[in-house]
Amino acid sequence: MNHDHDQTVSPERRKGRGAAFDPAVRFDPYVRTTEPDGWEREDDLPPLRTTVSTEVPRRVISRNTSPDISFDRSINPYRGCEHGCIYCFARPSHAYLGMSAGLEFETRLIARPKAPERLARELSSPRYRVAPIAIGTNTDPYQPIERDRKIMRRVLEVLSEFRHPVTVATKGTLVERDADILGEMGQAGLARVGISITTLDRDMARRLEPRVPSPARRLKAIETLARAGVPVRVMVSPVIPGLSDPEIESILGAARDAGAVAASWIMLRLPYEVSPLFVAWLREHYPARTGKIMSRLREMHGGKEYSATWHHRMRGEGPHAEMIGKRFDLACARLGLDATLPPLRNDLFHVPPRPGDQLSLF
């Protein structure tokens, strides 16, 4: 598959998208460039549409051994994400599918409709050992196509049936639809939800996260889930130094008032293709701040725009990173968001009987 290399798509064609172009794919030996021939202007081309293909995975539980994250297994109902967050650290994962981390990540999505059935099979294995499954750690399970596909809801139904612990991270307010399942599991100590809020500024959010519900709607989702009995964590993520960092305290306060009981934060991460995409976005939307923001990031990563070092990549280092961390900790202590939540329960897990299973006499 050939790809255009860093050629900006007109704003009209990419309306509602975060990226401005498709960076070359790291693993693709060919790069295709487009030269105008005078016959067809880009303005005459149709707007970019979202396409969805399907994948039938043999296994849906992905394992990791990263020492700086709190889970060792996760599920991704979808690949790619229509939310279009320009800063998304998961964008480079599209390269493993032969697609670009830019506009293709937002417009060429892959759904995994058999994920619930595969999950039930994996959980039923005698070799399976229970530990919380994280969902939403790569692409958002509540992105717009979930409304019709309902893969995430069916995954939750399986986890509920097996009484399996789960953590969910999302920016999508469609999570409210599943408050019945998540609420029951939450009250049983089996589920938690993290809602990500980057900024309370509606205009900035629309530019940063073009297809994500507004910050006010996400606060409402926290309220809905909390009322249903779900422990909700607000994720101030990512913190963009020189752009969104002044809002840390106000985001935490608004989330606490909506019902959040815990909080976390992550510094902006720009791995691989995300860096040029983000710089192009800054130059388009906040040109006067581009130099300051990128300088701050380099200061936090030893002169580079990103460092993938364990225990460093999520927070950065140096005086500015330390100041952000201290502000976050002080605000959480003042708001009561610094309590340690009890671990999710593993002891309720059981494999439900299936039709044809031999029943126990006891």
Residue whose structure tokens are 């976390």: 264
Q: Considering the domain boundaries, does residue 280 fall inside one?
A: yes
CATH code (residue 271): 3.80.30.30
Q: Classify strands 191-196 and 78-79 as parallel, antiparallel or unpaired.
A: unpaired
Q: Is 255 a residue whose pLDDT tops 70?
A: yes
State how many domains the chain has: 1
The C-alpha atoms of residue 31 and residue 4 are separated, in whole angstroms, by: 6
pLDDT digits (tens, 9 = 90+) for 137-192: 999 999 999 999 999 999 999 999 999 999 999 999 999 999 999 999 999 999 99
Q: Considering the domain boundaries, does residue 340 fall inside one?
A: no
Residue whose structure tokens are 């050939």: 2
Of 190, 212, 214, 220, nearest in space to 200 by CA = 214
pLDDT digits (tens, 9 = 90+) for 200-221: 999 999 999 999 999 999 999 9
Q: Considering the domain boundaries, does residue 125 fall inside one?
A: yes
Question: pLDDT category, 26, cuts 50, 70, 90?
Answer: confident
Better pLDDT: 345 or 1: 345
**Percent of the chain predicted with pLDDT > 90:** 84
CA 31 to chain centre: 29
Q: Considering the domain boundaries, does residue 151 fall inside one?
A: yes
Q: Considering the domain boundaries, does residue 33 fall inside one?
A: no
Residue whose structure tokens are 């809905």: 224
Q: Classify strands 232-239 and 191-196 as parallel, antiparallel or unpaired.
A: parallel
Range of the domain at 196: 54-85+106-335
pLDDT at residue 7, as a whole number: 79
Residue whose structure tokens are 């939540």: 341
The C-alpha atoms of residue 350 and residue 356 are separated, in whole angstroms, by: 17
Q: Find the distance separating the first CA and the last CA of the chain, reported in whole Å.
A: 59
Q: Considering the domain boundaries, does residue 262 fall inside one?
A: yes
Chain mean pLDDT for the chain:
92
Residue whose structure tokens are 């539980």: 61
The C-alpha atoms of residue 207 and residue 52 are separated, in whole angstroms, by: 24
Q: Considering the domain boundaries, does residue 40 fall inside one?
A: no
Residue whose structure tokens are 């975060």: 18
Residue 166, C-beta contacts closer than 8 angstroms, at least 6 positions apart: 132, 133, 134, 135, 156, 159, 185, 190, 191, 192, 344
The C-alpha atoms of residue 242 and residue 345 are separated, in whole angstroms, by: 40
Which amino acid type is present at position 299?
E
∠ CA 129-133-136, nearest 5°, is 160
Q: Considering the domain boundaries, does residue 163 fall inside one?
A: yes
The C-alpha atoms of residue 289 and residue 207 are separated, in whole angstroms, by: 15
Q: Is 334 a residue whose pLDDT tops 60?
A: yes
Q: Is 33 a residue whose pLDDT tops 70?
A: no
pLDDT digits (tens, 9 = 90+) for 38-58: 555 555 678 899 999 999 999
